[in-house]
Structure 1
Amino acid sequence: MSDETHICNKQVQNDATSCTSTQKQAHIPHTNFLAMIASQIFVVILIAGASALPIATAKITLVVCALILLTFLTFWPLHGNVIDRAIALLSCIASAWCATLALKGWLPQSVIIDNETVSMSKFIAAIRPYERWAVSFALILVAATFITFLRQMLRENRTNLVRNLSHTLTASIACAALPGWMFLPSIIRFMPSLRNTDGGIFVAALCILMVILLSGLSYLWVRNNCKNYYENNVTRDVAISLLPIMFSGMLIYIAGLGMLVVA
């Protein structure tokens, strides 16, 4: 009888602790929250400012992306070990290498001739880097998924398989998407030549809005993953706040395609 009572009391105590923990973790410390916002604003201003320089090239943006990647891998906020970080790192290196090759040389600053007609040769030259990187990105995702799944299957103890698989894939996709910011200098140079100015402004505004909304998700990720992340660890929360910025590389890529469409 005493054993049953002890078990019941222990279960009630665990439930109470779980409830208290959930309530406690419903809020992020103000210091962490401000650090996350400051980090996101600083990174976006840094990469946008570097892309807007008169001498800006994809290589300059690549340097900023490398700093973001280094910060993320150093503070690594997800579950996993060195192997998982290596998979994410290789995904970014492969993606950046493909983007660098795709953006090799100067892209046309305009696809318009005689202020009215769209030059198909210039349009094809402008859209070809986007096609090449899209194919490369898809292949990288397939390879990362296969390697991540194989890595999990080779583990002797396959506990938390789905969680570990999803965390490694999330990091790999974010790292592979990060080089999408390398298209930003070409987009900025291309914008003044748009015939449909309103369309270009709409695409730019929509992209900025999506980046802001995506950045706000990092707050929800930290708050909802209380058991794993709520440790008053500022560096971990800052690393999580970088994930939306890294994913936003795909938004920049899509915005570039949108600019070509409305040109």
Structure 2
Amino acid sequence: MTSTTQDSRTAKTLRMLLTQFTAYVALIVAALFAVTFPGSSTPLVPFVVAAVILVLLAAYWPFRGTMLDRVVTVVFGALSLAFTLFPFPAGEVPPQLANEQNLYSWALSAGFLLVALVVFSFGRQMARANRTHLIRALSHAVTSGVAAISVAGWCFLPELGELVTRGTTAGIVTIVILVALAAALAAASVLWVRDADPDPEIRQPWAGTGVLTTMLMGAPVAAATLLLAGMIN
């Protein structure tokens, strides 16, 4: 019995890592497509892939929670994605980021959404009549919300690729750091899927853990693009 359980956990972990890797590949291919075939509609390709990944998180929910938790997560993610297309009022953009106005605007909107997420999540938990598992529920709500907001950062991967191809040392260091972060998150996700306690009615919650990790990497991608643009431009 113990051996069977261990084999099952190993299989789930491997499938989760494969899901994670597939999500990374899809986002990178989408960015390459947007760069290789520039046009009025190609920037939407990374947007669509990011949106699909957001939906997958809601479908394969890796946490304990209600349908409302998933709806709230999707709403925050959808707002974040929308701000990549419809810029948030950002005021004056720093001169060195003049070519990255959309990214700068999205970064401000993401900060606003993160604050709103924390306030909403805390208020919702305080409003519960039965506050059992309060810390767990709050951490799950914030984690899923942060991932949903962060996934929009992948929409700026084409810009990061363009900056990196200039061949600067800063660009190379940026890629190394991002790969290291992705590897660290992959290692952490192995622990997450091993210790997870998802809703038993959710099928294949390990898939949700896989895309969750990929979504979280969207924030470092956007931050790296912003910092690199400020250094190079």
TM above 0.5, yes or no, is yes
Q: What's the counterpart of residue 110 of structure 1? A: none
Q: Distance in 2 between matches of 1:262 and 1:149?
A: 37
Percent of residue pairs bearing the same amino acid type? 26
3-state SS in 2 of match to 1:29? helix
Q: Distance in 2 between matches of 1:186 and 1:247?
A: 18
Alignment of 1:61-210 (within 5 A): 61-102=46-87, 123-193=96-166, 197-210=168-181
3-state SS in 1 of match to 2:129? coil
Q: Distance in 2 between matches of 1:234 and 1:215?
A: 21
Report the AA paired with residue 33 of structure 1. Answer: T
How big is the shift at 1:229? Answer: 4.6
The answer as to whether partners of 2:13 and 2:194 remain within 8 angstroms in 1 is: no
How big is the shift at 1:174? Answer: 0.6
Equivalent position to 2:182, from 197, 207, 211: 211
Question: Structure 1 residues 254, 28: CA separation in 2 closer, same or farther (over 3 Å shift)?
Answer: farther
How big is the shift at 1:230? Answer: 10
Report the AA paired with residue 46 of structure 1. Answer: A
Q: Distance in 2 between matches of 1:129 and 1:246?
A: 20
Q: Distance in 1 between matches of 2:161 and 2:134?
A: 43
Question: Which structure has the greater CA radius of gyration?
Answer: 1
The answer as to whether partners of 2:164 and 2:171 remain within 8 angstroms in 1 is: yes
TM-score, length basis structure 2: 0.84
Name the structure, 1 or 2, with higher relative contact order (CA <8 Å, separation 6+).
2
How big is the shift at 1:95? Answer: 0.7
Q: What's the counterpart of residue 24 of structure 2? A: 44
Deviates more, 1:138-147 or 1:64-73: 138-147
Alignment of 1:223-262 (within 5 A): 223-225=194-196, 228-229=197-198, 235-262=204-231
CA-to-aligned-CA distance 1:150-209 (integer Å, 9 cap, x gap): 222232222111111111111111100110000001222333335xx2221111121122
Q: Distance in 2 between matches of 1:44 and 1:65?
A: 10
RMSD: 2.7
CA-to-aligned-CA distance 1:194-250 (integer Å, 9 cap, x gap): 5xx22211111211221121122111112234xx2597x871112112211110001
Report the AA paired with residue 228 of structure 2. Answer: M
Mark the runs of 5 or more structure 2 residues left unpaired by the alignment. 89-93
TM-score, length basis structure 1: 0.75
CA-to-aligned-CA distance 1:119-160 (integer Å, 9 cap, x gap): x95x33224333212211111111112222222223222211
Consecutive aligned runs of 4 or more in structure 1 exceeding 4 Å deviation: 23-28
3-state SS in 1 of match to 2:204? helix
How big is the shift at 1:28? Answer: 6.1
Report the AA paired with residue 213 of structure 1. Answer: A
Question: Structure 1 residues 102, 58: CA separation in 2 closer, same or farther (over 3 Å shift)?
Answer: farther
Q: Distance in 2 between matches of 1:139 and 1:242?
A: 23
The answer as to whether partners of 2:13 and 2:193 remain within 8 angstroms in 1 is: no
